[in-house]
Amino acid sequence: MATSTPTTLAVREKKKFGKELIKDFLFAEGHKNLNHGSFGTYPRPVREAMHGFSDASEARPDDFIFYTYPKKLDESRTALAALLSVPVETLVFVPNATTGVNTVLRNLVYEEGDKILYFATAYGACEKTVVHLTETTPVQGVKIEFVHPVEDDWIVDQFRKRVKEEQAKGANVKVAMFDTVVSIPGVRMPFERLTAACKELGVLSLVDAAHGIGHIDLDLAKLDPDFLVSNCHKWLYVPRGCAVFHVPVRNQHLIRTTLPTSHGFNPLPVPGIAKIPTPVPSSGAKTAFIQNFEFMATIDNSPFLCIPAAIAYRESLGGEKSIMEYCNRLAREAGRRAAEILGTEVLENSTGTLGNCCMTNVRLPISQSVVEEVAIKGGIEKDNVVTWVREWMSKLLSDEYSTFIMIRWYAGAWWARFSGQVYLEIEDFEWGARVLKEVCGRVEKGEFLKEIASKL
């Protein structure tokens, strides 16, 4: 997608997007939310819907939870089925993408020689899930190591190569886990091509679309993954935590339990052991898969019911395509302008595919050798410098500048991740870049040592 010009953005902002939408959201006065991608946020109409469901559940708790909630949940599933172009019976909800990934990986049954393939860019919690399974089951992890920027062709070629290598050794790559958009750094993966490769190679595809729905176009009928989970609370303007979990009918027999296991689980029959009763009323002629996920222990699932309100709000802004196009163009322009202000660069490959999303990554002008020299003189061990500096910068941005920008050490440099969103304009990111330039100067002067000294 071509990078938009400031003029193009200005025209769109006058019509709909930008600072005029700030009033629709719940930010503190003066706060600039440049990190939407981490936890998302939602507008006032969605808050009103959520409060309405919470009030209804308190007015008549049993009636709401047993009888009203399943019907409202079906309305949310129906709304998302239309948005994702899949049958409603393939969609359920979980609290977040991490739970969805765990649900898949912990339901699959592993044998000696089974492998889980994943990439170096996997979300940390999901990689730890794989590691834990290697400690407790026969499965082994296969990690494709690489550092961005690389080309999509390279990623797909490496994927095919590693699967075939494992198969040649007699191993079974049971499932491959990969992102739609990576969290850190915030770049797009060629998930469509990886999903197709899984089909060709006989590998189950587990798509971690934490950054998916509301962020990029997801046509699941066309993509046809074996499993996909996507956070609704990141980019779709739904309250935390809410994620949609897609399992095609062909694979639903593989997902026997929710996490935690609850009343919907059907144990294998054991002679002499009576069937375990459930207190949850039957919600009609629904599949075992759907009923399994309707009630997963007692928690407040009001966010699950806010999907229709969130979609209605997005339609009032012009709909999915309009929102995504604006946020993508804004993120690209934000990266370009921030790099100009900082005198650095945007993390991108030669074909420009990494930035086909609503996030961008800009290198910070910090000399790590200078920082390490200052830190060592201040009594800080070299191995601890990155952690201390990252935490200090993050806290400083929050406390003194009333913003938060995701900062990480990656590929031998410091990077800042920005998120484009409808309530932001290019001027917000220009401000953010100037703030970062100031903060980088403070880092090189060793200001972080004062904070460290107070904690040691």
Q: Please check whether residues 185 and 297 belong to one and the same domain.
A: yes
Question: What pLDDT, on the 0 to 100 scale, is given for residue 13?
Answer: 39
* Size of the chain, expressed as the number of residues it contains: 456
Question: What pLDDT, on the 0 to 100 scale, is given for residue 77?
Answer: 98
Q: Please check whether residues 225 and 336 belong to one and the same domain.
A: no
Give the residue among 226, 207, 248, 258 at the shortest CA–CA distance from 90. 248
Which residue type occupies 1? Answer: M
User: How would you write the pLDDT of the chain (456 residues) with one tens digit per residue?
Assistant: 333 334 344 433 344 899 999 999 999 999 999 999 999 999 999 999 999 999 999 999 999 999 999 999 999 999 999 999 999 999 999 999 999 999 999 999 999 999 999 999 999 999 999 999 999 999 999 999 999 999 999 999 999 999 999 999 999 999 999 999 999 999 999 999 999 999 999 999 999 999 999 999 999 999 999 999 999 999 999 999 999 999 999 999 999 999 988 888 888 888 877 777 777 777 677 888 888 888 877 888 999 999 999 999 999 999 999 999 999 999 999 999 999 999 999 999 999 999 999 999 999 999 998 888 888 887 778 888 898 899 999 999 999 999 999 999 999 999 999 999 999 999 999 999 999 999 999 999 988 887 765 554
Q: Please check whether residues 164 and 289 belong to one and the same domain.
A: yes
Last residue of a domain, one of 309, 330, 346: 309
Question: Which DSSP string corresponds to 107-168?
Answer: HS---TTEEEEEETTS-HHHHHHHHHHHHHSS-EEEEE---SS--HHHHHHHHHHHHHHHHH
Q: Please check whether residues 279 and 337 belong to one and the same domain.
A: no
CA–CA dist 71, 17 (Å, integer): 34
Question: What pLDDT, on the 0 to 100 scale, is given for residue 283?
Answer: 67
Calculate the alpha carbon distances from 86 to 14, 200, 245 in Å. Answer: 35, 22, 12
Count: domains in the chain:
2
Question: What pLDDT, on the 0 to 100 scale, is given for residue 449?
Answer: 86
Q: Are 422 and 327 in contact (CB under 8 A)?
A: yes
Residue 129: count other Cβ atoms within 10 Å of its Cβ.
Answer: 22
217 lies in a domain? Answer: yes
Q: Please check whether residues 184 and 158 belong to one and the same domain.
A: yes
2 lies in a domain? Answer: no
12 lies in a domain? Answer: no
7 lies in a domain? Answer: no
Q: Please check whether residues 280 and 235 belong to one and the same domain.
A: yes
Last residue of a domain, one of 263, 278, 309: 309
Q: Which domain holds residue 360?
A: 320-453
Question: What pLDDT, on the 0 to 100 scale, is given for residue 226?
Answer: 98
Q: Please check whether residues 299 and 446 belong to one and the same domain.
A: no
Measured over all CA atoms, what is the biggest interatomic distance in the chain, rounded to whole angstroms? 75
Give the residue among 62, 14, 40 at the shortest CA–CA distance from 281. 62
Q: Which CATH number is 411's domain given?
A: 3.90.1150.170
Q: Are 176 and 204 in contact (CB under 8 A)?
A: yes
Q: Which CATH number is 263's domain given?
A: 3.40.640.10
Q: Please check whether residues 142 and 280 belong to one and the same domain.
A: yes
Q: Please check whether residues 103 and 221 belong to one and the same domain.
A: yes
The pTM of this model reads: 0.92
Q: Please check whether residues 68 and 216 belong to one and the same domain.
A: yes
47 lies in a domain? Answer: no
13 lies in a domain? Answer: no
379 lies in a domain? Answer: yes
4 lies in a domain? Answer: no
Q: Please check whether residues 383 and 439 belong to one and the same domain.
A: yes
CA–CA dist 225, 204 (Å, integer): 8
Q: Please check whether residues 301 and 326 belong to one and the same domain.
A: no
Last residue of a domain, one of 249, 280, 309: 309
- Distance, C-alpha 300 to centroid of its chain: 21
